[in-house]
Chain A
Amino acid sequence: MTQAEKERRFQEKIDKEIKIEPNDWMPDEYRQTLVRQISQHAHSEIVGMLPEGNWITRAPNLRRKAVLLAKVQDEAGHGLYLYSAVETLGTSREQTIDDLHSGKAKYSSIFNYPALTWADIGAIGWLVDGAAIMNQVALCRTSYGPYARAMVKICKEESFHQRQGYESLMKLCSGTPQQKAMAQDAMNRFWWPALMMFGPSDAASTHSDQSIKWKIKRFTNDELRQSFVDATVEQAQILGLTIPDPNLKWNEERGHYDFSEINWDEFWQVVKGNGPCNKERLAARVKAKEEGMWVREAATAFAKKRAMKQSA
């Protein structure tokens, strides 16, 4: 079969909504796009544990602490499902992780913003997980089988993440004026970075067209961002919080909310490594790998010992 013939058959499968599985033939570029996207997604789950992890010991009560701990554990699981999915494409797990540590691979820019107050933890659950869910629900129908299956499992677990954040903000918003102000401050700082999570605008996005044709993505960045804005406005009203955008208003004709242009300068700065926490986040991951080395070595040694005992 010629290369062109293989590519034609591949596209036919995609068009017929037949999932692509690990051993199926696929164009190199499809494989590379998936490796880049899924590993970036995996890294985001793992790095995403850092801003919230900082607050586990400082949660205001035992209930919130147990909830936050469970959420952060889920994110570790999400990272694992996705690293496993990348591995099915023939990459090495270790290399994938090293690419994050060397700065070669990216992760979601949102996690380069600090979580300064307890209200930020609520805002992260509501807005950051909310934006992630918008993205991930669309990815449940992505064309690569292992990625789609990982997404289905992740989506089932995500909805509590958003709800617990919203509930936590609800509590603050019905508290003292200081608590309400703290919630509004978190909203002010997280709104724009949350919108940036959907990536560059369609006009500036380099990978978008091909990804849509291959059904890796089902919706464009701008479409998903719009859905998120439309879904979130009313949720903010119920909290009694103001979305920090003077141009946010309902557009009858479009049937969507209009909103201001995103500060793309800031977006690219953070992507390029110059956000408030980029260095800190990477350093924390590298440290975790290095300082956790002895645990992995001990586990290997113990497994060997146990195997020897069993065969003796």
Chain B
Amino acid sequence: MSTNEWPLWEVFIRSKQGLNHKHVGSLRAPDATLALENARDVYTRRSEGISIWVVESAHIHATDIDEADAFFEPSDTKIYRHPTFYEVPDGVKHM
């Protein structure tokens, strides 16, 4: 038997209250409990976190890198979504 039977887990850490969990890396473990414990030992040896999420890598769905241009095109073409698109006279304040 090999560790290959252990799934890969992605590790997300909240470094402090008020911040998002952020992806920090991955590890292999037989289940979620051990994945959390291993993540603590490997990724938070210097108080890097106050909360850990682990997600089996197989459960992550991602956008296709080859389709990225087409996929994100709608947001690239709508410059009027940005405040700098609009002209406002110099004297106007608090806007």
CB-based contact A303/B3 at 8 Å: no
> A84's contact among B3, B27, B30, by CB below 8 Å, is which?
B27
Chain A residues, Cβ within 8 Å of B28: 93
> B1's contact among A77, A293, A302, A306, by CB below 8 Å, is which?
A293
C-alpha gap A303/B42 in the complex (Å) = 20
CB-based contact A80/B42 at 8 Å: yes
Interface flags, A149-189, vs B, CB<8A=1, else 0: 11001000100000000000000000000000000000000
Known: A74-B45, A77-B45, A94-B4. A299 touches B30 (CB 8 A): yes
Quick one: which of A94-123 are within 8 Å of B by CB? Answer: 94
Most buried by A among B5, B27, B28: B28
Interface residue tally for chain B (C-beta within 8 Å): 24
Chain A residues, Cβ within 8 Å of B33: 303, 306
Chain B residues, Cβ within 8 Å of A296: 1-3, 6
Interface flags, A70-93, vs B, CB<8A=1, else 0: 100110010011001001000011
Report if A33 contacts B (CB, 8 A).
no
> A300's contact among B30, B46, B66, by CB below 8 Å, is which?
B30
Chain B residues, Cβ within 8 Å of A23: 62, 65
C-alpha gap A113/B1 in the complex (Å) = 33
**Least CB distance, B39 to chain A, in whole angstroms:** 10
**Least CB distance, B8 to chain A, in whole angstroms:** 7
Tell me how many residue pairs across A and B have CB atoms closer than 8 Å.
54
Report if A307 contacts B (CB, 8 A).
yes
CB-based contact B27/A303 at 8 Å: no
Q: Main SS of chain B's interface residues?
A: mixed
**Least CB distance, A288 to chain B, in whole angstroms:** 13
Report if A5 contacts B (CB, 8 A).
no
Known: A80-B42, A293-B1. A299 touches B65 (CB 8 A): no
**Least CB distance, B61 to chain A, in whole angstroms:** 13
**Least CB distance, B86 to chain A, in whole angstroms:** 31
CB-based contact B25/A300 at 8 Å: no
CB-based contact B8/A87 at 8 Å: yes
Chain B residues, Cβ within 8 Å of A306: 31, 33
Q: Which B residue's beta carbon lies closest to that of A302?
A: B30
CB-based contact B65/A84 at 8 Å: no
CB-CB nearest 8 A-B residue pairs: A303-B30, A303-B31, A23-B65, A84-B26, A300-B30, A94-B4, A299-B30, A77-B42
Further 8 A-B residue pairs, CB within 8 A, beyond A303-B30, A303-B34: A24-B65, A70-B45, A84-B27, A153-B25, A293-B1, A299-B34, A300-B1, A300-B5
Q: List 23 A-B contacts (CB under 8 A).
A: A21-B65, A25-B66, A77-B41, A77-B42, A77-B43, A77-B45, A84-B25, A84-B26, A87-B26, A92-B4, A94-B3, A149-B25, A153-B24, A153-B25, A293-B1, A296-B3, A296-B6, A297-B1, A300-B5, A303-B30, A303-B31, A306-B31, A306-B33
